[in-house]
Amino acid sequence: MEILMASSIGFLSAAGIYLILRGRSFPVIIGLTFLSYAVNVFLFAMGRLAVDEPPIIAYDAARYTDPLPQALVLTAIVISFGMTALIVVLALRGYLETGSDRVDQGVPKMEPAEERLTS
């Protein structure tokens, strides 16, 4: 189980880092998602791997697993879900307004002089 866990975290991170370095917004978002999956599994594993051990009080349980990493993962999932939703919307709006989804060509040059006055 340890090897499966460790290598899946490794593969997810590697895929995430590769995709983040791509030039278009869609692969970058998928890469960020992979990275956040990797860190969620990683946080979970930091409470040590255990089978058949409940994290909350149960009357018939002999041993407990560490509940804190599970709470941390839950928080991390909620936050990364919200952030991913935001960046998807941002990428879509950017694509619709500029007609390009490339992230490696810098931001659009200085807008026409009036833009920042009116925007």
Partner 1 sequence: MSSWIVAPILIPALTAPLLLLTRRAPNLQRRTSLAAVALLLVASIGVFMLATDGMVRSYRLGDWPAPFGIVLVLDRLSATMVLLTAVLASAVAIYASNGWDEKGHHFHPILQFQLMGINGAFLTGDVFNLFVFFEVMLIASYGLLLHGGGPRRLGAGFQYVAINLIGSTLFLFAVGLIYGVTGTLNMADLAGKVAQVPAADAALLRTGALLLFLVFAIKAALVPLHWWLPTAYAAAPAPSAALFAIMTKVGAYSIIRVFTLVFGPEAGFAANIAAPWIMPAALATLAIGAVGVLASRVLVDLVCFAIVWSMGSLLVAVALFDVTGLTAALYYTLHSTLIGAALFLLSDLIARRRGRWRDDLEPSPVMAQAPLMGALFFLAAIAMSGLPPLSGFIGKIMILDATRPSGAVGWIWAVVLATSLVVILGFSRAGTTLFWKSEAVAGEPEPMPQPARAMPVMAAAALVAGTVLLSLWAGPVTRHLEATARQLVDPRAYVEAVLGAPPQAQLSEPQP
Where along the sequence are the contacts to partner 1 (CB under 8 A)?
20, 25, 28, 32, 35-36, 38-40, 42-43, 45-46, 48, 66, 68-69, 72, 75-76, 79-80, 82-84, 86-87, 90-91, 93-94, 97-98, 103, 106-108, 110-111, 113-117, 119
Kindly state the smallest distance separating residue 45's Cβ from partner 1, in Å. Answer: 8
In whole angstroms, how close is the CB of 72 to partner 1 at the nearest point? 6
Q: Minimum CB separation from partner 1 for residue 59, in Å?
A: 21
- C-alpha 43/C-alpha 62 separation (Å) is 24
